[in-house]
């Protein structure tokens, strides 16, 4: 009954007119950036973050969350129709989705993606509502030693799941942690790495890092690799799958939902890993293996379900432990903090309207996405005809104005330029910027809890091994690090993410 009462509170909050409006705006923007290659939800959330500071906290988070899971829907539309994934996790959808479109079955592919996404999103939202409260109660028992071990585990798992070289991912996390230490020491107030620059005494601004690394750097990369994007979209017919199609997608949707819900909580690219894993599972167990890559509807329904389930459950570690599973969740941490809310287990008790309102809004957002995506397919794909030379100046101007408005300090705009160039250089060197942002957010947490645990234990480092939960988490971290460097696992990671590259 307590769960039902909490959900009633959530829906009473989420169904307020302004919250429904901003939920709709969020999923609309999310679908748009999912359709347009080269922008993505991370850059969009980073650039819109400054605008939401004047909103009520629950309204701001509902909108930002809508952008994220809306992008998971939007990415599949162009992947199916023109073989151009708008979002990284939609790359695997293009394999069979576009083949179906060439066979005149684009309607069935789009419907399978939409139905699978809606069912998976709904189930994952229920899983979030059920799993989050008990996990938060467990997290309340955590001390500094446990939090240090947990954050360290998250950083190491993100290395294991990162695309490309594990060594480069480790270097990016180390660089992010280094940037996170800039400013005054948290206990003594001693300036660190400020180079006599007054603006650095308060640390590097999170929004500047995010907008530069994921906004400006991506724009520079896309300008270098600009492709002619043309789309001829005919009338999509037969948007409802046949009885045979419905029979074939039931199993993949169920399996994809389960895989996505489980993998979504992992640090790094959980939603990307979920979609590729689902495709591999469906291909392995199918009796029609020859159809995969040539228009198997299971290859659309499974990955899209996994992708959207993972997008929802990635909120579990954020809302219960205060730990981001990937860069978009790191941006959500920034949104919590800016609105004066500390993300973690206390959110459920201190801000119940926000916690349950955000969860309820996810179901409302999933309904809005189904209503938005199928009827407006032609509109979304025609957006690809907008020249990138028109889009990118508007995006950069919008980002600069939003960041400047935070503190009316030109230094923040200079920081965007610096991190944009740095991000572009790192991308050219084959380094993923996502681990850097995770290191930047989680690095100060590692330092704070490490020092706090050592202060409490009077400098005895064995405290991390004598406390059972901390010892188990450290053992898992060591196992994850070992797995990441094993040659067989490393080779498997390269195969899994090959399509995404």
Q: What is the pLDDT along the chain (501 residues), one digit of tens a residue?
A: 677 888 899 999 999 999 999 999 999 888 887 777 656 677 778 777 777 878 888 999 999 899 888 887 777 877 787 776 656 667 788 888 888 888 888 888 888 888 888 899 889 988 888 888 888 888 877 889 988 998 888 888 777 766 667 788 889 989 999 998 999 888 888 899 888 888 888 888 877 887 888 778 877 877 776 554 444 455 566 667 778 888 888 999 999 999 888 888 876 666 777 888 888 888 888 888 778 878 888 889 998 899 888 888 888 888 888 888 777 888 888 888 888 888 888 888 888 899 999 999 999 998 898 888 777 776 776 776 677 677 778 777 877 877 777 667 888 889 989 999 999 999 888 887 878 888 888 888 889 889 999 999 988 999 999 998 899 989 988 888 887 676 655 555 555 444 444
Predicted pLDDT at 436: 87
Kindly list the distances between the CA atom of residue 105 and the CA atoms of 98, 178, 226, 391, in Å, as whole numbers in the listed order: 9, 51, 30, 32
Distance CA 13, CA 356 (A): 8
- The phi, psi pair for 266, rounded to 5°, reads -75, 140
Q: Are 275 and 92 in contact (CB under 8 A)?
A: yes
- DSSP, res 290: G
**Cβ contacts of 257 within 8 Å, gap of 6 or more:** 119, 120, 123, 124, 305, 306, 309
Rg (CA), the chain: 22
Predicted pLDDT at 501: 44
How many structural domains comprise the chain? 1
Q: Are 210 and 49 in contact (CB under 8 A)?
A: yes
Q: Which domain holds residue 349?
A: 2-498
Distance CA 28, CA 44 (A): 12
Distance CA 252, CA 96 (A): 14
Distance CA 249, CA 321 (A): 35
Distance CA 240, CA 110 (A): 9
Predicted pLDDT at 270: 67
Sign of CA dihedral 206, 43, 55, 411: positive
Distance CA 365, CA 261 (A): 18
Distance CA 35, CA 416 (A): 25
């Amino acid at each position: 009954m307590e769960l039902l009462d909490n959900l009633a509170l959530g829906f009473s909050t989420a169904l307020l007119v302004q919250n429904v409006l901003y939920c709709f705006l969020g999923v609309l923007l999310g679908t748009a950036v999912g359709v347009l290659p080269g922008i993505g939800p991370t850059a969009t959330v980073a650039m819109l973050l400054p605008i939401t500071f004047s909103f009520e906290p629950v309204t701001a988070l509902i909108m930002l969350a809508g952008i994220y899971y809306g992008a998971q829907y939007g990415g599949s539309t162009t992947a199916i129709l023109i073989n151009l994934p708008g979002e990284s996790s939609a790359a695997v959808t293009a394999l069979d989705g576009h083949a179906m479109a060439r066979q005149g079955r684009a309607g069935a592919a789009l419907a399978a993606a939409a139905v699978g996404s809606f069912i998976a999103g709904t189930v994952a939202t229920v899983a979030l509502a059920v799993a989050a409260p008990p996990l938060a109660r467990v997290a309340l028992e955590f001390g500094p030693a446990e939090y240090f071990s947990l954050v360290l585990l998250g950083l190491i798992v993100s290395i294991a799941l990162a695309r490309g070289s594990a060594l480069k991912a480790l270097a990016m996390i180390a660089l992010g942690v280094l940037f996170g230490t800039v400013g005054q020491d948290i206990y003594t107030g001693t300036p660190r790495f400020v180079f006599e620059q007054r603006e650095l005494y308060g640390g590097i601004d999170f929004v500047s890092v995010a907008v530069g690394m994921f906004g400006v750097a991506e724009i520079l990369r896309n300008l270098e690799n600009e492709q002619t994007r043309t789309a001829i979209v005919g009338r999509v017919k037969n948007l409802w799958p046949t009885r045979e199609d419905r029979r074939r997608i039931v199993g993949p949707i169920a399996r994809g939902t389960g895989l996505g819900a489980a993998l979504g909580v992992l640090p790094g690219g959980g939603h990307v890993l979920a979609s590729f894993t689902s495709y591999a599972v469906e291909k392995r167990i199918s009796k029609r293996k020859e159809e995969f890559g040539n228009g198997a509807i299971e290859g659309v329904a499974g990955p899209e379900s996994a992708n959207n389930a993972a997008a929802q459950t990635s909120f579990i570690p954020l809302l219960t432990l205060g730990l981001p599973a990937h860069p978009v969740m790191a941006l959500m941490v920034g949104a919590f903090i800016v609105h004066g809310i500390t993300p973690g287990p206390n959110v459920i008790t201190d801000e119940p309207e926000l916690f349950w309102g955000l969860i309820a809004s996810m179901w409302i957002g999933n309904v809005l996405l189904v209503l938005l995506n199928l009827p407006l397919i032609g509109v979304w794909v025609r957006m690809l005809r907008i020249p990138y030379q028109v889009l990118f100046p508007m995006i950069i101007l919008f980002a600069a104005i939003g960041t400047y408005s935070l503190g009316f300090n030109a230094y923040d705009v200079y920081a965007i330029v610096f991190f944009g160039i740095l991000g572009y250089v790192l991308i050219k060197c084959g380094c993923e910027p996502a681990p850097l942002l995770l290191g930047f957010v989680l690095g100060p947490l590692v330092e704070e809890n490490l020092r706090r645990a050592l202060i409490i234990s009077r400098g005895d480092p064995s405290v991390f091994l004598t406390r059972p939960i901390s010892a188990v988490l450290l053992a898992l971290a060591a196992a994850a690090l070992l797995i990441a460097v094993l040659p067989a696992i490393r080779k498997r990671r390269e195969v899994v993410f090959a399509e995404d590259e």
